[in-house]
Amino acid sequence: MQFSTQAIHSGYTPNELDGAIIPPLHLSTTFKFGNQNNYDYSRSGNPTREILEKTLSSLDGNTHGLAFSSGSSTLATIVSLLDPGEKILFSSDAYGGTYRFIVNVAAREGKEYSITDFTDLEETEAILQKENIKIVWVETPTNPLLKVTDIKKLASITHKQNAYLIVDNTFASPIFQQPAEYGADIVVYSTTKYINGHSDSIGGFLSTSNKELYQRLKFLQNAYGTMLSPFDSWLTLRGLKTLELRMARHGENAEALAHFLDKHPKTSKVYYPSLFHGTQGEIVKKQMRHPGGMISIELRPDSNVQAFLNATKYFPLAESLGGIESLIDHPATMTHGSIPKEEREKIGLSDSLLRISVGIENIQDLLSDLESALKKA
Ligand X SMILES: *Cc1c(COP(=O)(O)O)cnc(C)c1O
Residue 49 annotated among the catalytic residues of the structure: no
Q: Does residue 38 contact residue 31 with C-beta atoms inside 8 Å?
A: no
Q: Could you give the CA distance from residue 45 to residue 42 in angstroms, rounded to a whole number?
A: 5
Is the CB of 47 or the CB of 204 nearer to ligand X?
204
Q: Give every strand in the sheet of 204-208, ordered side by side.
A: 64-68, 204-208, 186-190, 164-168, 133-139, 87-90, 112-115
Q: How far is the CB of 367 from ligand X (least distance, A)?
A: 25
Pick the catalytic residue from 95, 164, 182, 194.
Answer: 95
The CA–CA distances, whole Å, from 107 to 76, 103, 156, 167 equal 12, 5, 27, 21
Is the CB of 6 or the CB of 207 nearer to ligand X?
207
Is the CB of 193 or the CB of 250 nearer to ligand X?
193
Pick the catalytic residue from 43, 218, 269, 376.
Answer: 43
Q: How far is the CB of 95 from ligand X (least distance, A)?
A: 4
Residue 238 annotated among the catalytic residues of the structure: no
Q: How far is the CB of 293 from ligand X (least distance, A)?
A: 12
Query: Nearest residue by C-beta to ligand X?
Result: 71
Cβ-based neighbours of 76, under 8 Å, separated by 6 or more: 101, 105, 106, 224, 226
Residue (of 191, 197, 221, 373) closest to 297 by Cα position: 373
Residue 193 annotated among the catalytic residues of the structure: yes
Pick the catalytic residue from 147, 193, 344, 355.
Answer: 193
Pick the catalytic residue from 93, 168, 185, 329.
Answer: 168
Instruction: Please report, for the chain, how many H helices and E strands are present, in that order.
Output: 14, 11
Q: How far is the CB of 335 from ligand X (least distance, A)?
A: 8
Is the CB of 31 or the CB of 95 nearer to ligand X?
95
Q: Give every strand in the sheet of 267-271, ordered side by side.
A: 267-271, 294-299, 353-357, 327-329
Burial 258-279 (b: 16+ CB within 10 A, else e): bebbeebebbeebbbbbbbeee
Residue 224 annotated among the catalytic residues of the structure: no
DSSP H or E stretch at residue 73: helix 71-79
* Alpha carbon of residue 289 to chain centroid: 16
Is the CB of 46 or the CB of 170 nearer to ligand X?
170
Q: How far is the CB of 91 from ligand X (least distance, A)?
A: 12
Q: How far is the CB of 205 from ligand X (least distance, A)?
A: 10
**Residues engaged in binding ligand X (CB under 6 A):** 70-72, 95, 97-98, 139, 143, 168, 170-171, 190, 192-193, 202, 204
Sort 297 into a burial class: Cβ within 10 Å, 0-12 / 13-18 / 19+.
buried
Is the CB of 76 or the CB of 155 nearer to ligand X?
76
Catalytic residues: 43, 95, 168, 193
